[in-house]
Amino acid sequence: MAEPINVRDLAPGTRIVLVDGGEAEIVDNPADGVWVFARYLSSPRDPALAGQEEMIFAQDVAAIRE
Amino acid sequence: MNGTKGYHPGLVDLDSGEISREIFVNADIYAEEQERVFARAWLHVGHESQIPKPGDYFVSSMGEESVILTRDRTGAIHVFLNSCRHRGMKVCRYDEGSTTVFTCPYHGWSYGTDGRLVGVPYFREAYHAKLDKEKRGLVEVAQLCNYKGSIWANWDKAAPSFQEYLGDFTRYLDLQLDGWDGREAQAELLGGVQKWLVPCNWKFPAENFSGDTYHNISHRSVDLAGIGPSGRSRRDLGERDISRKLHVCIPDRGHQTILYLMPPGEPTPPAYQNAPIVQEYFAHCEAEKRRRRGDYGRFVGAPGEVFPNTALLSRQPRTMAVWHPRGPNQTEVWRWFFVDRDAPSEVKEFLRDYYIRYSGPAGMTEQDDMENWNYAHKASQGVIARRHPYSYEQGMGTAVQDFEWQGLKVPGDVIDITEVQSSEQPMRNLYRRWSEFMAADSWADLATWRRNDRTAAE
């Protein structure tokens, strides 16, 4: 199991990979350790999400795209 | 045997001037108060200067309930119950700050500063995207009022507006929130809110600040030490020598205060003589206030109480306090300190030092009060003590309506205590209204002035 990511550290502009394989870019971070605001770059689950901003739950963040 | 299980009308007997100790120490009555008083009355929550920017918040209390005073992205002010709609966890556990969302640390539900539920973990997966987020926002108060920067809230949508609730008491809250020079809404907070616990029922401080002039003896040591602005007594209060000292009660609202009514044409006696800049500032403001306010510029504020649990002290030291109930045997005191926004920094600094000397858990005057409330409460809890009611007999039958002195009428039930020194009319007024709240089923019964207005019109 991958190490959990501390989403508090994710600055705007950071790209993340989600557990469902989607990708998103952080646009704002309330620094509550639970949520980040991000814009979807892609979503295999729902391609229509691409370009939309949503709140992403910390446990849905799988990796940081280097 | 006492046998009191809860509130009943005989506990407050205003004909005899006797009030049972049960209303202070009885756990059943305390529980009823939360529903009948604190869930229906207007309560002071904070001041808008505590949340100047969008996203700012201040966690306050309404009765026992934790609430969040916040300003949303559009600048609108809200007061929300600080409790997640999922399992009730506090969604904000800081005293104050700034945020974009209030996130519950238990399961992660997240709310915008406008109270909307914006984040639900596994919304699509676990809830199959069917949870109605619109229905699960933070619980918001039924009514909110920003009165000259002070924020008041009410859980009961049937309650009258805040200004109707104040009635003829508005003028006394104005003394607190307007500038010393009479300009409207010039007060700003000085420093943070002081908070501390006192082991007594909340009604002890509430009745004390309603206008208890009888307990001055317990501040004798402070008067002798001379903590006042000019190094004498507790306050610079030359008005005392030339004013009428009044107990003013608004009987159908439950608000009451001490008032010094100055004679017309008489300049305000000097104060702050040891600090020339401060003295000059207040002398200028007093003259301006007389000019702006006309006859009402003769009003000089003193301790008073907005029913049920907000205390005013509009003069020296200029503070407001809320007596938060924390069980029948404990009160959490919150005290806000005020200065004029435009006052010179020297004046603000001077007042800060004076406020610290006087008020708060380490303030020399407030310590005296806490000592009294603490041990009076403790000594009223025993089964023998509870059999013997307190006496509120001072000045019974001596109040007059629409008191007038040198061309100025003062609305309400008024007792001139200039010569007699003291009365217990303010306490009787407080407990009369408290009894009405405890007995009434709804605001239709509590807004007694509407019935009286209708009767007069007929």
What DSSP line would sit under B71-135, residue for residue? E-TTS-EEEEESS-TTT---S--SSEEE-SEEE-TTT--EEETTS-EEE-TTTTTTSTT---GGG
For residues B179 and B338, the answer to whether their CB atoms sit within 8 Å is no
Residue B371 has pLDDT above 50, yes or no: yes
Lowest mean pLDDT, pick from B55-69, B350-364, B427-441: B350-364
User: Nearest-CA residue of chain A relative to B100?
Assistant: A30
Selected residue with higher pLDDT from B218 and B197: B197
At residue A18, does pLDDT exceed 90? yes
Quickly state the pLDDT bin for A66 (edges 50, 70, 90).
confident
Asked if the model's pLDDT at residue B454 lies above 80, the reply is: no
pLDDT in tens, B379-423: 999 999 999 999 999 999 999 998 999 999 999 999 999 999 999
Cis peptide before B308 (omega within 30 of 0): yes
pLDDT in tens, A52-64: 999 999 999 999 9
pLDDT by residue (tens digit) across A22-34?
Answer: 999 999 999 999 9
Nearest CA-CA partner of B48 in B70, B80, B81, B66: B70
Both structure tokens of B198? 């006192």
Mean pLDDT for B84-104 is: 97
With beta carbons less than 8 A apart as the criterion, state whether B371 and B205 touch.
no
Chain mean pLDDT for chain B = 95
Contact B110 A28 (CB under 8 A): no
Chain A 6-65, residues with CB within 8 Å of chain B CB atoms: 28, 30, 32, 34-35, 37, 55, 57-59
Closest Cβ–Cβ partner in B100, B105, B108 for A57: B108
B110, A32: Cβ pair inside 8 Å? Answer: yes
Confidence of residue B3 (pLDDT cuts 50, 70, 90): low
What confidence score (pLDDT) does residue B313 get? 96
Indicate which of B110, B127, B133 best probes the interface with A, i.e. most A CBs within 10 Å of its own CB. Answer: B110
Q: How does pLDDT run across B8-52, given as a tens digit for each residue?
A: 999 999 999 999 999 999 999 999 999 999 999 999 999 999 999
Kindly determine whether residue A34 and residue B103, on different chains, have CB atoms separated by under 8 Å: yes
* Distance (Å, whole) CA B88 – CA B83: 5
pLDDT of residue B458: 65
Please report the pLDDT score of residue B402 as a whole number.
84
Nearest partner of B360 among B248, B210, B171, B227, judged by Cα: B227
Interval B303-324: pLDDT, tens: 999 999 999 999 889 999 999 9
Question: Quick one: pLDDT at residue B361?
Answer: 84
> B310 and B44 in contact (C-beta within 8 Å)?
yes
* Residue B265 pLDDT > 60: yes
